[in-house]
Structure 1
Amino acid sequence: MDLLALADFNLVARHGGFGRAARLADRPKATLSRRVSELEASLGVRLFERGSHALKLTQEGRALFERTEALLTELGEATAAVASGGDTPRGRLRVSAPLLFSQTALGTLAAEFARRHPQVQLEITTEDRPVDMVEEGVDLVIRVNPQRDAQLVGRVLLRDRLVAVAAPTLPRPAQDTAVPAVVRVNSQDAAWTLTTATGEQRIAIDPVLRLASLIMIRDAVRTGIGAALLPLSLVAGDLRTGTLLHWGDGQGPPIELWALYPSRRLLSARVSAFLEFLKDAFPQGHPEELAAYVKG
């Protein structure tokens, strides 16, 4: 197979058309079209459906693109590393991370990573939705309790747990009395089952506020309007100072923060460097290590 033709096919597939690919790569459109046609002829399949206004990958074209894009990227990185005399991390690194982790820690961490690796152009986007790493050009995703995915591998960065907290001015409820609570917007909880020093306790709740952000919930709870279940890392400082009191631990599986990347992709130097950097930042993976970055 002609690697140059394969590279040109990937260029066109990535940018969604011959014209756009030609402009961005400063290459003749006719050359790209000819190379792709030659590749189709050698494979005996059509890779693109060529409409009057749009270019769309066929099923075979999509399969070829998904299987070769990362390999060609790695080949280019290996060539660049050899040419530069080493494997110094360099180039663009796109990371997708969840909102709370981004708001509490990633600003500080990103700045330190940039100081250590000035040849890496780090970009971090913040979203809690699943990300298609190939479609969106993401090198690494950080996710909370991700579902199993055969296409992704990675490592746990941190483990956290939920704790019930309230301001000192809010009394613990009497038996069979609902406590005012601040909850997430979509929460359907009617009660919390907590593990305390004296055993298990079930507390009925009466939501008085529904907020979208965990930081908003923490700030509201500080005023005494209600109790909340929050990650320990987010309220560890408040518990130390007595701004909030610990009512008990929430039940359920631990909160795990994972760093994930495609299983078929050899790790580039920049992704490896970022993973090692995160490992150094959270060596034990304890919530108190993340709490050190929480401000306010």
Structure 2
Amino acid sequence: MSLNDLDDFLLVAASGGLGKASRASGKSKATLSRRISDLEEQLGVRLVERSSRGLMLTAAGQVLASRIEAPLGEVAEAMTATREGVTVPRGRLRIAAPVLFSQLAMGGIGADFSAAYPEVSIEVVAEDRLVDLVEEQFDVVIRVNPSPDSNLVGRCFAKDRLVVVAAPSMTVPEPGAVRQVPGIVASTFQPGYWDLDEGRLVLEPLPRLRFSSFLMIRDAALAGAGAALMPQSIAWSHLARGDLVQWGIISGAEPALWVLHTSRRLAAPKVRAFVEFMCARYPSMSLVLKG
């Protein structure tokens, strides 16, 4: 089985027939038909149904076409770059990123990356679920504290801290025994304690408000509704202005953001450029200073 066989099969599938594929490629219909027949024989399945009106992909043919389109595109891109000595990133870059990070940072990141690499078009999809890069045709994904995955490679580009904050009108509890405080918590909150600064202050939040978004939690804390646990990057500008007061840092919790791509595909220039861009954007690995 050769790349030429797969490439010609994909050409015929995209064109909808041997005649159109022949005119588009300059290859004879006999050559294209023989390539598809050879591929069917090697795979042991029928890929197309032939009739007087043209060709139609079978279910197996549809599966093969959907799985090889993106990898063959990247192989062609890599071969062109090698042949022409071109390393300029180009083409569409499809990115999946967490919803909150997308809302706070990806607009600026996308604009700046586009300005630096004008031949790359960017599509960012805000997703908190674990997307499948190959099946859903994403080039890169940004994840928080990702689990080890042998199919993905990448780099950690920034780290955050979980902090407890409250409006200045609330009195900071004295260290000592566990202190109960009115809490603004996430929808998924389970009863427990907030251990601050390695045990200096231990709080038991009594949920008064539950929200599914850290932005809502932050806004409720600004309104003085209670103490709230959130990433420091979300609250830092309000902390700097004195709108919020930081009570402490959660011990042993450090959200880390990684930019990942699949190891089963060639790292195209556009992917390598984006990984390097993200790492350069956060030189101190702090989300507080950039976004």
What TM-score do you get using the length of structure 1 for normalisation?
A: 0.81
Out of 59, 67, 91, which is 1:56 matched to?
59
Give the residue type in structure 1 aligned to 2:202: R
1:248 is paired with a residue of what secondary structure?
strand
* More divergent stretch after superposition (221-230 vs 203-212): 203-212
RMSD value over aligned CA atoms?
Answer: 3.1
Counterpart residue number, 2:283: 283
Give the residue type in structure 2 aligned to 1:254: E
1:237 is paired with a residue of what secondary structure?
helix
What is the alpha-carbon distance in structure 2 between the residues aligned to residue 24 and residue 272 of structure 1? 36
Aligned length: 274
Contact preservation (8 Å) 2:151, 2:262: yes
Counterpart residue number, 1:22: 15
Measured after TM superposition, the shift of residue 156 of structure 1 is 0.2
1:133 is paired with a residue of what secondary structure?
coil
What is the alpha-carbon distance in structure 1 between the residues aligned to residue 7 and residue 107 of structure 2? 36
Give the residue type in structure 1 aligned to 2:250: G
Note the residue ranges of structure 1 that are not aligned, 5 or more in a row. 13-17
- The reply to whether residue 261 of structure 1 matches residue 261 of structure 2 is yes
- Structure 2 CA distance for partners of 1:191 and 1:54, relative to 1, 3 Å: farther
Measured after TM superposition, the shift of residue 45 of structure 1 is 2.3
Contact preservation (8 Å) 1:194, 1:251: yes
Q: 1:127-206 to 2 correspondence within 5 Å?
A: 127-173=127-173, 178-195=180-197, 199-206=199-206
TM superposition outliers: structure 1 runs of 4+ over 6 Å: 30-34
- The reply to whether residue 237 of structure 1 matches residue 237 of structure 2 is yes
1:88 is paired with a residue of what secondary structure?
coil
What is the alpha-carbon distance in structure 2 between the residues aligned to residue 201 and residue 11 of structure 1? 65
Contact preservation (8 Å) 1:153, 1:260: yes
Give the residue type in structure 2 aligned to 1:186: T
Measured after TM superposition, the shift of residue 215 of structure 1 is 1.3
Q: Which has the larger radius of gyration?
A: 2
Give the residue type in structure 2 aligned to 1:45: G
- Structure 2 CA distance for partners of 1:47 and 1:235, relative to 1, 3 Å: farther
Identity %: 41
What is the alpha-carbon distance in structure 1 between the residues aligned to residue 253 and residue 239 of structure 2? 22
Note the residue ranges of structure 2 that are not aligned, 5 or more in a row. 23-28, 50-55
Give the residue type in structure 2 aligned to 1:179: V
What is the alpha-carbon distance in structure 1 between the residues aligned to residue 76 and residue 103 of structure 2? 34
